[in-house]
Amino acid sequence: MNTMIKKSAFALVLSLGLVAGCSTTGDEPMGDDEMSAVDQDGGASTYGGDDSGGISSDELSDRERRQQAGQGASGDDAALRRITTFYFDFDTAEIKAESRDVLAAHARYLSSNPNVNVRLEGHTDERGTKEYNLALGERRANAVQRFLVVNGADRSQLETVSYGEEKPAAMGSNESAWAQNRRVELIFR
């Protein structure tokens, strides 16, 4: 437990340093309706489910966002949007790099279809208390929500819910099953 508190404190200090270091350059003034991605403190993950390092949406540069916006009309978006489950590393709510393109495609779709709504369902593996897992599932769903909003979706289109460990995708007490259960699912309505 003491190690977990130390890790949490380190993550908080690291996040504060990131927020302090990320400021506008003054080249382009930020309007009231724009949202900065520096509030990303957790998130969804990649569709691949491997254990490579995650990356926050705040590391998505303006150049990358413009580049992705230009790709919005391509047929690749429809293929990317078929992926609706995003996996996480153990005990984290950080979006993995591999999920950026897929989530950006979903954000573009939501932006161009304001009548479409989506429920973001956060899940965890069985390790940890029920309370902790519910909170972790919520952090994961909220991180995906923030990523989608930062990339063009309207917050009113998004609903988040956490199931914690209650709805496993795979039964078992091994790394393979746990990896499949650490996820956020996008349920379009």
3-state secondary structure of 136: helix
Overall pTM > 0.85 = no
CB distance 104 to 173 below 8 Å: no
- The reply to whether 126 falls in a domain is yes
7, part of any domain: no
pLDDT at 99 (0 to 100): 93
Q: Domain for residue 149, yes or no?
A: yes
CATH number (domain holding residue 142)? 3.30.1330.60
Whether residue 54 is predicted with pLDDT greater than 80 in this model: the reply is no
Indicate whether 8 belongs to any domain.
no
136, 93 contact by CB (below 8 A): yes
In a domain, 1, yes or no: no
Cα first-last separation, the chain: 40
Range of the domain at 180: 42-49+56-188
Q: Are 101 and 60 in contact (CB under 8 A)?
A: no
Give pLDDT tens digits for 96-131: 999 989 999 999 999 999 999 999 999 999 999 999
Q: What does the pLDDT average to over 135-145?
A: 97
| The residue type at 160 | T
Distance CA 128, CA 151 (A): 32
Residue 16 in domain: no
The single residue listed with the structure tokens 């691949």 is 48
Total domains in the fold of the chain: 1
Q: Where are the alpha helices (H) located in the chain, listed in sequence order?
A: 2-21, 62-70, 76-81, 100-112, 130-150, 175-181
Answer whether residue 167 shows pLDDT above 80: yes
Residues 22, 38 contacting (CB under 8 angstroms): yes
Is 12 inside a domain boundary? no
Predicted pLDDT of residue 62: 53
The string of DSSP letters for 102-115 reads HHHHHHHHHHH-TT
Q: Which residue has the tokens 């150049």?
A: 63
- Measured at the CA of 56, the angle between CA 138 and CA 33, to 5 degrees, comes to 85
Does 22 map to a domain? Answer: no
**C-alpha neighbours within 13 Å on the C-beta side of residue 81:** 17
